[in-house]
Amino acid sequence: MNHKLALPWHFSCWFIAFALALPVIALGVEALNPDIAIFQQLYDTVLMDYTRNTLLLTILVAIISCVLALPAAWIIAMCEFPGRKHFQWALMLPMAMPAYIVAYIYTDMFDYAGPVQIALRGWFGWQSVSDYWFFDIRTIPGAATVLSLVLFPYLYLLTRTSFLEQSTSLIQASRVLGHSPWASFWRVSLPLARPAIAVGLSLIAMETVADFATVNYFAVNTLTTAVYDTWIGYGNLSAAAKISVMTLFVILLFVGLERFARRKQQMFQKNMLPEQEIRYPLSGFAKYAAMAWCWLLICAGFLIPFLVLLNYAWNYFAESWTEEFFQYSQNSLVLALVVAGLAVTFAVLLGLYRRLVATKQASIPARISSMGYALPGTVLAIGIIIPLSAADFMINDLTELLWQWTPGLVLSGTVFALIFAYLIRFSAIAVGSVESSIDKISPSLDLVSRTLGHQPNSMIRKVHIPLIRKGVLAGFLLVFIESMKELPTALLLRPFNYETLATYVYQFASDEMLEHAALAAIVIVLVGLIPLIFLNRSLEQQH
C-alpha cells in the first residue's frame, strides 16, 4: 500500500542519501583530476609493492582465520564436551580487542628485549641474535597473525551458525548412506557451510584491507597506509584520492564475493525442518584436544592481551589516571552519543520511507546510506576532506567578499567533519537494525490502522514507532560502540588539539608507551564487549 507522505519527507530522505554518498562521488571526481605527478612517482616506486602487500596480507589473514575458526566452529556446533556452552560465547571475546593493542602487546612480548626471548636466552645460554633463530613479529606474516587473532570470530560465528542450521537429517542420511562422521563432515557439512565461510572471509578481508593501525605499527606498507602517508606526508589530495579509489576496487571485489556467496545461501537453507540437536559426545584425547583448542584461541586473542593491559594499568595507574584520560573519554562519549542519535534518526526516517512509499525507488536512499560501511576509514577521510574543504573555501571567499572577514575551516577543521564521517561509516548498522525490526511488522497492521481512521503520521506514531523501539535501541548502541572504537577516520579528521580515546591510545602505542594509556585501552575493550553480550543473548534464544 502506498501512503501519501508530505513532500519534505521525500526531500529529506533523498538529501540524506545524497549527503552520505558525497565522499564516494568526491573521490571519483578528484581521482579524475589530471594532476598525476605525485601519483606517477608513487606508482613508479612503491605503489605496486603496497598493492602486493595488501593482497598478500589479506590472503594470509584469510588462511590463518580458516585454520583458527573452522575447527572451533565445527566442534562447538557438532560435538558435546565439557565447557562447550561457555566456549560458545567466549570464542567471540577477541572481537572486542583492537588489533593494534594486541599487536603492541605481542611485540613487547616476543621482541628481542621481550620476556620470551630473554627467558629462552637464559635457559639455553644464548648470547646474541646470531646464536639462535626467532621469528620476527614485525613482518607481513606477523601482522596477518595478529589480525587473524582478533578477526577469526567473524568466521567462527557465521560458520557455527551455518553448521547448526544444517538439518540433522542430512547428516543422518549421509551416515545411513555409508559415511563415517569424518566423511560426512567433508562431503556434507563443509560444502553446505561454504556460503557462510565465503561471507565470513569477505568480511575479514574487508576489515583487513581497511586496517590502518596494525600495519602502520608493524611498518608494513599497504594501500591504507599509502593513503595516509600521501595526505599527511605529501599533502597531495589528488594522489590520495587516486590510491583511495584503488583501495575501493579491492574492497568492491570482496563485497561482490560476499553478495555472490549470499545469493547461494538462500537455496541451501530452504525446506528444512527444525530438529533437535544431536551432538557427537567427545571423550578421551578428543575431548582434551577440543578444550585445548578453544582455550588457545581465547587466550591468544583475548585473555593474555587483556591481562597484560590490566597489569599495565595496575603498575602505571598514576600515569594513566590523568586529566587527559577524562577529557578524552568525555570527547569520545559526546561524539559517540551525537553520532548514534543522528544515525538512528536517519535510519528511522529512511526505513519508514521505504515502508510507506512502497515503490522500488523508495528503498534506494536506505541502500545508499548503507554503502559507507565498506569504506576503509582512511579512504573515507580523504573522501570527506575533498568536499568539505571545497565548501570551506567557498564560505570563506563569500564572507571575505561580503564582510571582509573569514571564519576559518568551519566544516573540515572542526568536529563536524568527524561526525559527518562517522555517520557515513556507521549509518549502515543503524539502518540494518531499524529496517529488520520494521520488516517484522506485519503489513496488515498498516492496513488496519488506515481503515481504523489513522493518517500516515498518526499511524507512525501510534503503531510503527512503539513496535520498532527495540531495533532503534540496538542500532543506537551498536553505532555508539563503533564510534567509541573508530580510529583511522579520527586520526585523519580530528581537529587540532582534539583527541578521542582511540587516537589517544594509539599515540601512546606508536610511541611505545601503551602502559601510560592502559586505562583508556581497557575502556575501549570493555565498550567493545557490550555488543557481544547482546549477540550472545540472541544466540541463546535461537539455540
Query: What is the DSSP secondary structure assignment for residue 494, as one 8-state letter?
Result: P
SS3 180: coil
Give the CA distances from residue 10 to residues 100, 456, 465, in Å, rounded to whole numbers and listed in that order. 43, 14, 19
CA distance 190 to 234: 48
Considering only the stretches 47-55, 266-274, 355-363, 407-415, report the one whose residues sit in contact with another protein under the rule CB under 8 A.
Answer: 266-274
Is the CB of 84 or the CB of 121 nearer to another protein?
84
Which of 40, 45, 139, 169 lies at the binding interface for another protein (CB under 8 A)? Answer: 169
Answer yes or no whether residue 283 interacts with another protein by CB under 8 A. no
- Those residues whose C-beta lies under 8 Å from the C-beta of residue 385, and which sit 6 or more positions away, are 231, 237, 412, 417, 492, 493
The distance of closest approach from Cβ of residue 439 to another protein in the complex, given in angstroms and rounded to an integer, is 24
Residue with cell 568525555: 330
Which of 24, 70, 151, 192 lies at the binding interface for another protein (CB under 8 A)? Answer: 192
Which of 25, 63, 118, 177 lies at the binding interface for another protein (CB under 8 A)? Answer: 177
Is the CB of 185 or the CB of 217 nearer to another protein?
185
The distance of closest approach from Cβ of residue 265 to another protein in the complex, given in angstroms and rounded to an integer, is 11
Answer yes or no whether residue 80 interacts with another protein by CB under 8 A. no
Is the CB of 56 or the CB of 170 nearer to another protein?
170
Considering only the stretches 183-191, 379-387, 413-421, 433-441, report the one whose residues sit in contact with another protein under the rule CB under 8 A.
Answer: 183-191
SS3 358: coil
CA distance 66 to 390: 45
Which of 68, 137, 188, 493 lies at the binding interface for another protein (CB under 8 A)? Answer: 188
Cell readout for 428 is 549502515
The values of phi and psi at residue 468, to 5°, are -105, 10
CA distance 31 to 440: 42
The distance of closest approach from Cβ of residue 286 to another protein in the complex, given in angstroms and rounded to an integer, is 16
Answer yes or no whether residue 175 interacts with another protein by CB under 8 A. yes
Is the CB of 282 or the CB of 382 nearer to another protein?
282
Is the CB of 48 or the CB of 183 nearer to another protein?
183
Give the CA distances from residue 67 to residues 62, 154, 522, in Å, rounded to whole numbers and listed in that order. 9, 13, 29
Which of 33, 51, 167, 322 lies at the binding interface for another protein (CB under 8 A)? Answer: 167
Exposure class string for 187-210: b at 16+ Cβ within 10 A, else e: ebbbebbebbbbbbbbbbbbbbbb
Is the CB of 190 or the CB of 441 nearer to another protein?
190
Answer yes or no whether residue 172 interacts with another protein by CB under 8 A. yes
Considering only the stretches 33-41, 169-177, 199-207, 311-319, report the one whose residues sit in contact with another protein under the rule CB under 8 A.
Answer: 169-177
Answer whether 162's CB lies under 8 Å from 190's CB: no
Is the CB of 80 or the CB of 319 nearer to another protein?
80
The distance of closest approach from Cβ of residue 142 to another protein in the complex, given in angstroms and rounded to an integer, is 37
The distance of closest approach from Cβ of residue 84 to another protein in the complex, given in angstroms and rounded to an integer, is 17
The distance of closest approach from Cβ of residue 461 to another protein in the complex, given in angstroms and rounded to an integer, is 43
The distance of closest approach from Cβ of residue 513 to another protein in the complex, given in angstroms and rounded to an integer, is 53
The distance of closest approach from Cβ of residue 278 to another protein in the complex, given in angstroms and rounded to an integer, is 8
Answer yes or no whether residue 194 interacts with another protein by CB under 8 A. yes
Which of 273, 318, 401, 402 lies at the binding interface for another protein (CB under 8 A)? Answer: 273
The H or E element that residue 80 is part of is strand 79-80
- Those residues whose C-beta lies under 8 Å from the C-beta of residue 27, and which sit 6 or more positions away, are 241, 244, 245, 248, 379, 382, 383, 386
Answer yes or no whether residue 4 interacts with another protein by CB under 8 A. no
* Secondary structure of 239-275 in HEC code, one letter for each residue: HHHHHHHHHHHHHHHHHHHHHHHHHHHHHHCCCCCCC
Q: Where are the alpha helices (DSSP H) in 111-236?
A: 115-124, 140-165, 168-176, 181-184, 190-210, 213-217, 223-229
- Give the footprint of another protein on this chain (CB under 8 A): 167, 169-170, 172-180, 187-188, 191-192, 194, 267-268, 270-273, 278
